[in-house]
Amino acid sequence: FRSDLQWILFCADLPSLIQEGPQCGLVALWMAGTVLVPPRGIPLERLVQMAVERGYTAQGEMFSVANMGRLAEEALGCQVELLRGGLGGPNRGRVLQHLVSGHPLLIPYDEDFNHEPCRRKGYKAHWAVSTGVLLGVQGVPSPGYAEDPELPGLFHPVPSVPHQLPSLPEEGSLGAVYLLSKQGKSWHYQLWDYDQVQDSNLQLTDFSPSRAADGRVYVVPAGGVRAGLCGQALLLRP
């Protein structure tokens, strides 16, 4: 990481769960549920059952952010804000404020071979959940932050100590933003460049031809992947 910046990590801890079949969205929602309905959230089996009963899915797939929001609201009893128009512009500040407050963000994106965001026109549409953000800033506000004992230059907010939020890096600024995310094909956190996630989320337009030809039934909303996923995300709050 750049030595000209100081780094602050905000993170609400998430458990991991490996998906079985095309359940990436519901697994991401289950992870978010452990933060919103502690300590264990809602059983994944219950989320799948509810999604099937309401016609949101056939086998666990979720191609509609709006339906995911409805399911989150009903199953978790949480507040749901559906973002449209991508993660940039005025939405960028709302997303960062949400994450530094410790609340989950559900994001559809295209998944590369290493699970990172890529650009495949929606052919590899996948879901992730983020409850953390790593900010590269010009200076760390004082007090309320402690430097990591093993990683000089990395700071953490001190629990139960009031702290001033840093200036959130704006688009095109000298700062840096990475999302700390999990998804249903790995046990581990991944750090993703914010702009990379934003770009991947904005180009989800087409249904995968290989999925269309695999003989299985998928629930895809009117307007297809573009209408259901493109440029959309969910902010969830207790």
Which positions are annotated as active-site residues? 24
> Which residues, at least 6 apart from 94, have a Cβ–Cβ distance to it below 8 Å?
83, 235
The two tokens of residue 93 are 């500040």
Q: How far is CA 229 from CA 52, 74, 107, 114, 138, in A?
A: 19, 20, 9, 21, 35
Sign of CA dihedral 106, 110, 112, 117: negative
Q: How far apart are CA 146 and CA 157, in angstroms?
A: 6
**Helix 65-76 and helix 24-36: axis angle, to 10°?**
40
